[in-house]
Amino acid sequence: MSENRQDPGGAARRAPVDASMTLLNEVMHRPLDPGYADAAARRAAGRAPHRGRTGTLVLVALAVALGVVTTAAAVELRAPQPGVIAARETLEQEILDRQGAAEELAARGAELSAEIEQLQGAALSGASADVLQGLQAEGALTGTQAVEGQGVVVTLDDTSGGLSSDTVDSSSLVHDSDLQRVVNALWAGGAEAVAINDQRLTGLSAIRSAGDAVLVDLQPLVGPYRVEAIGDPDSLRTSLLRSGTSDYLQILGTQYGIRSSVTTQSRLDLPGRPAPTLFFAKAPAATVDSDTPAGSTDGTTDGTTDGFGTGPEPHETGQEIVE
């Protein structure tokens, strides 16, 4: 009779390991490389290899050499190249030369302007008082003549306090549009002459901005901005109110901290601007037909009168003035 007995060696007998599990078994049961395991065993047994003096010196020498090479490379990269230094020096010298040339040209222009004024004065020495008064009036209108009189002063001062734009919000700075609005309101109020920080405004003037700087005829200005206008103070103040400029200035103060004020002055002195550059001028032909009675023309010439006895239109003098 056969009995189902348990094999006594079955407990110790294991199933064969599949070949694909060899790597996992090696990782689980032998995590260290045999070479590392042997070195660890020798170290544990007190048989660790002794590093000689020569090896230590070699390591120190290698470390020092590596540090020297790294430092030299960093210094070489940071050191300015001779070509860059030469180019910078050339640019600096060119800037200085151009500045010197500009100063010489400005001085020459001032000399020529003074000479022109002397020639004009000599030419007008025998002119009548009416002609001289007319020239002065035209000079005041064009801005080339210094003027004085009563008027108002509008002052705008931002909150920059001389700080750079990096530390100040650009909204709290006076913009070119703010000055344009004030100047336009003063012109509309009948201002005879207007100046911003002693820069006289003419019909060819422009108020612009370059970054955070305000330019008047390409001349940079700094605050506080003082807008002076000669004219009837009451009319000028009324124009500021009617145009909404006064309310606009109050909004600038409450929202952006830009301080402003409007004051009446009994006397203002505004400087004149240099005469604009005259590029073209032509004297009108005043030829008169011999068969035509004196004081009249045939209507086809460029004289002072036409066939109907009327004069030329204002400013039709054949002159073109460009600034």
Q: What is the four-CA torsion angle of 95, 97, 102, 104, rounded to 10 degrees?
A: 160
Q: How many CA atoms lie within 13 A of 199 on its CB side?
A: 19
* Two structure tokens written together for 123: 């030419």
Give the C-alpha separation, 124 to 113, whole Å: 16
* Calpha distance 281→279 (Å, rounded): 7
Residue ranges of the alpha helices (H) in 34-172? 34-44, 53-78, 82-123, 129-142
Domain map (residue ranges) of the chain: 61-120, 151-270, 275-323
What is the pLDDT tens value at each position of the chain, 323 positions in all?
444 445 444 544 555 556 667 777 777 776 667 777 777 777 777 665 566 678 788 888 899 999 999 988 888 777 777 777 888 889 999 999 999 999 999 889 878 878 887 887 787 777 777 777 777 777 777 777 788 899 999 999 986 554 455 566 778 889 999 999 999 999 999 999 999 998 999 888 899 988 888 999 888 888 899 999 999 999 999 999 999 999 999 999 999 889 999 999 999 999 887 766 677 777 777 655 545 444 444 434 344 434 333 443 433 333 333 34
pTM exceeds 0.85 for this model: no
Contact 156, 258 (CB under 8 A): yes
Domain spanning 151-270: which CATH class is it, in words?
alpha beta
